[in-house]
């Protein structure tokens, strides 16, 4: 009853906001960071998608700046989001995979803490999923004034969960899990709430939409930072055949496609509508001009819950997907719209990554950058003013699946596999992205001097991983049901 009243109130606020619109924006720009889950580089029509259409996101891109060379923090959600929040790459971050026992420390600098210190109201909505197992008030510990959504990343697989969390407190929903015939929970060994719903009454994506509208309305007269982290188009991995859960297939109902692909397509359309809704709300509240809206994905496209990545060519011409360090796994569509500062209809090939967001936000908020950051502000690229510094290289590591590392430096991409599994030879791959953007031809043997330089960076770019509880004495992964 309480949640339904909240949604109704939000709808009223949405309709009334326009009458109270401000004629002038705040001195500090508002920031809305929209992060989606497992969307590929080719899933938006403004990035080359040919089957599915995303007109509202395309319009956002036409009114702002497209980054064609932006990279995520990692190839799976936990470390990628940790890199985004802390401004350091995964050679320095405490979270380098989705395995248990990896968490951000409460004293770490985060995006939310930076913005809060600068006088912003900070709100998080959607999927947290940073480390495992996080405390229920982890977003508040990391600087968010308000949070509503999932805390655990596996709970976020379920789009019809029995509950969510608001500021560390459980909020029960009307959905019910599917149980075994004897009444036991088939997912009892998973984090609480994980599973597939039998009773589906409240679709979480819709709740997040309403919560975002409410947050913008409530804070329209003050500078705010909204981290809107939708859990689509991720699949419900606990439903291995039809994991792209949606209330209905809409315009795709009559398509001659597999059921799961109709669901995936509907997720993309729902996301597009959500972005349009947020932009419309900003305009109605009179704060559109002075609000920066960012749109991106946390890693490359998935192939889970029955979905086939190639059905819609989600990675376009790029090689790889989620859990790979080829560009298909770590390159994201990245769009910034900020009418007051960013010239409409612009495109940049500036090399940037998730760990650049924190120092960029420092420039936007007018606060000092932390000393501990691997990021470089791309504020000069956004505004066209100032000297844009460049990365010498980008670095990643992923300490699952035997251990992987990658470096991007100039036109060269180095990928190392099996770096933690002593029983398997290390594989070193080198690609020239200028000549071979699809990373098809390993040219490591032909370029020993480049290999030697990359090996030096592989050693220098990281500190030793201090979450030792992840691994047994023989360096194998701890057994986990996740």
Give the chain's domain count.
2
Confidence of residue 428 (pLDDT cuts 50, 70, 90): very high
**pTM greater than the 0.85 cutoff:** yes
Query: Residue range 350-375: average pLDDT?
Result: 97
Dist. CA 188–CA 167, nearest whole Å:
25
pLDDT confidence of residue 467: 55
Handedness of CA 138, 142, 148, 149 (dihedral sign): negative
Which residues neighbour 469 within 8 Å (Cβ) at sequence distance 6 or greater? 101, 478
- Same domain for 422 and 351: no
User: Of 113, 123, 354, 72, nearest to 228 (Cα)?
Assistant: 123
Residue 43 lies in a domain: yes
The verdict on 436 and 297 lying in the same domain is no
Q: With bands split at pLDDT 50, 70 and 90, how would you rate the model's confidence at 100?
A: confident
Specify whether 378 is located in the same domain as 398. no
Q: What is the span of the domain harbouring residue 448?
A: 394-470
Q: Per the domain annotation, does 478 fall within a domain?
A: no
| Strands in 103-252 per DSSP E | 121-127, 146-150, 163-166, 169-172, 176-177, 197-199, 224-229
Residue whose C-alpha is closest to residue 66's, from 348, 383, 373: 348
pLDDT at 464: 85
Out of 331, 349, 383, pick the residue that ends a domain. 383
400 and 360 within one domain: no
Percent of the chain topping pLDDT 90: 87
Residues 311 and 406 in one domain: no
Percent of the chain with pLDDT over 70: 91
Classify residue 318: in a domain, yes or no.
yes
Domain edge (last residue) among 383, 416, 448 = 383
Judgement on whether residues 367 and 403 belong to the same structural domain of the protein: no
State which H helix or E strand residue 31 sits in. Answer: strand 30-36
Residues 312, 281 within the same domain: yes
User: Does residue 475 form part of some domain?
Assistant: no
Which pLDDT score is estimated for 27?
81
* 27 torsion bin: left (phi>0), alpha (psi -120 to 50), beta (else): alpha
Is residue 43 domain-shared with residue 82, that is, in the same domain? yes
Strand duo 334-337 + 163-166: pairing = unpaired
State the chain's mean pLDDT as an integer: 92
User: Does the pLDDT value for residue 338 go beyond 70?
Assistant: yes
């Amino acid at each position: 009853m309480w949640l339904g009243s909240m949604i109704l109130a939000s709808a009223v606020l949405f309709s009334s906001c326009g009458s109270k619109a401000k004629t002038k924006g705040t001195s500090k720009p508002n920031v809305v960071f929209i992060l989606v889950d497992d969307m590929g580089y080719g899933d938006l029509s403004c990035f080359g998608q040919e089957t599915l259409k995303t007109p509202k996101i395309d319009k956002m891109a036409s009114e702002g700046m497209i980054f064609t060379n932006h990279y995520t923090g990692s190839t799976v959600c936990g470390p990628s989001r940790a890199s985004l929040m802390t401004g350091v790459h995964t050679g320095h971050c405490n979270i380098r995979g989705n395995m248990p026992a990896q968490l951000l420390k409460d004293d770490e600098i985060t995006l939310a803490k930076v913005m809060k210190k600068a006088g912003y109201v900070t709100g998080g909505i959607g999927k947290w999923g940073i480390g495992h197992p996080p405390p229920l008030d982890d977003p508040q510990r990391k600087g968010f004034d308000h949070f509503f959504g999932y805390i655990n990343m596996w709970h976020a697989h379920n789009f019809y969960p029995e509950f969510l969390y608001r500021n560390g407190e459980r909020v029960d929903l009307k959905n019910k899990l599917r149980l075994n015939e004897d009444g036991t929970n088939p997912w009892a060994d998973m984090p609480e709430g994980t599973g597939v719903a039998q009773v589906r009454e409240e679709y979480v994506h819709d709740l997040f939409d309403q919560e975002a509208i409410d947050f913008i309305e409530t804070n329209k007269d003050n500078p705010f930072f909204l981290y809107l982290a939708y859990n689509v188009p991720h699949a419900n991995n606990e439903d291995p055949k039809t994991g792209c859960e949606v209330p209905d297939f809409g315009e795709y109902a009559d398509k001659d496609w597999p059921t799961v692909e109709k669901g995936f397509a509907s997720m993309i359309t729902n996301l597009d509508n959500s972005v349009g809704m947020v932009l419309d709300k900003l305009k109605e509240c009179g704060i559109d001009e002075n609000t920066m809206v960012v749109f991106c994905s946390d890693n490359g496209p998935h192939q889970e819950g029955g979905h086939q990545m190639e059905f819609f060519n989600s990675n376009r011409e790029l090689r790889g997907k989620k859990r790979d360090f080829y560009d298909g796994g770590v390159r994201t569509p990245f769009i910034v719209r900020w009418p007051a500062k960013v010239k409409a209809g612009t495109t940049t090939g500036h090399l940037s990554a998730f760990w650049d967001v924190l120092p960029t936000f420092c420039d936007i908020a007018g606060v000092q950058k932390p000393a501990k950051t691997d990021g470089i502000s791309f504020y000069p690229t956004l505004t066209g003013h100032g000297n844009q510094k460049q990365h010498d290289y980008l670095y990643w590591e992923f300490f699952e699946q035997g251990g992987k590392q990658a470096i991007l430096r100039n036109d060269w991409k180095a990928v190392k596999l099996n770096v933690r599994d002593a029983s398997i030879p290390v594989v070193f791959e080198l690609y020239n992205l200028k000549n071979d953007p699809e990373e098809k031809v390993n040219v490591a043997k032909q370029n020993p001097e480049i290999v030697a330089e990359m090996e030096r960076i592989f050693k220098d770019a990281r500190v030793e991983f201090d979450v030792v509880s992840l691994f047994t004495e023989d360096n194998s992964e701890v057994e986990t049901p996740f």
